[in-house]
Structure 1
Amino acid sequence: MKVHTTNYFDTFIEVAEDTKAKSGIKPPAKDRKTVAEMQYELIAQNPYKYTSDDILFQIFADRNNLTKAEYKQARERFFSKGQACLRTSPLAKTYGFGIHSNSVGKVAIFGMETREYQKHIDDPKTKKIKAVKSSR
């Protein structure tokens, strides 16, 4: 079975060109946690701990109430088809965060107003890609 990945390495996902955000803002809490809220919590509380694949699968697992025992098989099934990468994340599209993947594919987020965001933009060794626009 083919395994797909959403992981990037030494790459910075810039905020979408059409974002309305002026700075990185925490997604608002809702009755049922949104994807944005779940991604924010996982990445902001654990910078450079998880890969993009880890984050996307964990959110899938949580939303589908999977048990730890089901993870291995479910993860294989999940990545047997292509998944949207973090370029489609609401954090980068709507909430003003850039997403950096380090040399081993672990990710952290940086508000677009921060010095760290600009540092990644200015780093010639880091590949830059834009988040997907919200409108076509």
Structure 2
Amino acid sequence: MENVDYTSTFITVAPDTRAVAGVEPVGSSIAASTFALIAPEPYALRSSDVIFRVWASRHEVDASSADEWAAFYSTPHACLRSSDLGKRYGWGIHADADGRLAVYAVGSDAYESLAAGVAPDGSAVTVTAAMRSSRR
């Protein structure tokens, strides 16, 4: 299986984002679906769960099928660093020590603390940026 899960990591917004605050994505976009899975229940799902569930929903596939999971992850997939949450909508994504996710709005105190390498529980996190939207 392709490993798309992060642990003890904070994905900041992309260096070239124009976002100055977190804006909830709306509609049926991948970003909106991703946000809808993470935001209401912080630290409940891992990246691999979110990525697969969004894909399964968009392709009308049973998200609880182990066979579908195995088939999906038999090929490489982009991680959440490429998500529009961090590139366009102003959300940082934190993966705790168990790989479970929560989102934090850019500019918030919690975002700033995580971007400085300190998790909500006081533990250290690795900080990495979301992928740029454009090439340099």
Report if TM-score (shorter chain) is over 0.5.
yes
Query: Is there any run of 5+ residues in structure 2 with no aligned partner, and where?
Result: 119-123
Instruction: Say which of 109, 114, 126 aligns to 2:103.
Output: 109
What percentage of aligned pairs have identical amino acids? 33
Secondary structure of residue in 1 paired with 2:114: helix
- Opposite residue 32 of structure 2, the aligned amino acid is E
Q: Which of 30, 52, 60 is the matching residue for 2:55?
A: 60
Alignment of 1:89-108 (within 5 A): 89-108=83-102
Deviations 1:94-122 (A, max 9, x none): 00000000000000000001111011122
Between the aligned partners of 2:53 and 2:74, the Cα distance in structure 1 is: 16
TM-score (norm 1): 0.91
Find the partner of 1:28 among 15, 18, 26: 26
- What are structure 1's unaligned runs of at least 5 residues? none
Residue-by-residue CA offset, 1:6-26 (whole Å, 9 max, x unaligned): 000000001000101110001
Instruction: Specify which of 68, 75, 89 is matched with residue 81 of structure 1.
Output: 75
Residue equivalent to 2:40: 45
* Higher percent of residues as helix: 1
Contact kept, 8 Å, 2:2 with 2:73, in 1: the verdict is yes
The equivalent of 1:126 in structure 2 is: 125
Moved over 3 A (4+): none
Tell me if the contact between 2:38 and 2:102 (Cα under 8 Å) persists in the aligned partners.
yes
| TM-align CA RMSD | 1.2
Q: Distance in 2 between matches of 1:68 and 1:97?
A: 25
Q: Partners of 1:131 and 1:92 in 2: how far apart?
A: 6
Q: Paired residues, what number?
A: 130
1:31-80: CA deviation from partner (whole Å, max 9, x where unpaired) = xx1101101111111110000000000011101111356x2101101111
Local SS of the residue matching 1:28? coil
**When the two structures are superposed, what TM-score results if normalisation uses the length of structure 2?**
0.91
Report if aligned partners of 2:13, 2:90 keep a CA contact under 8 Å in 1. Answer: yes
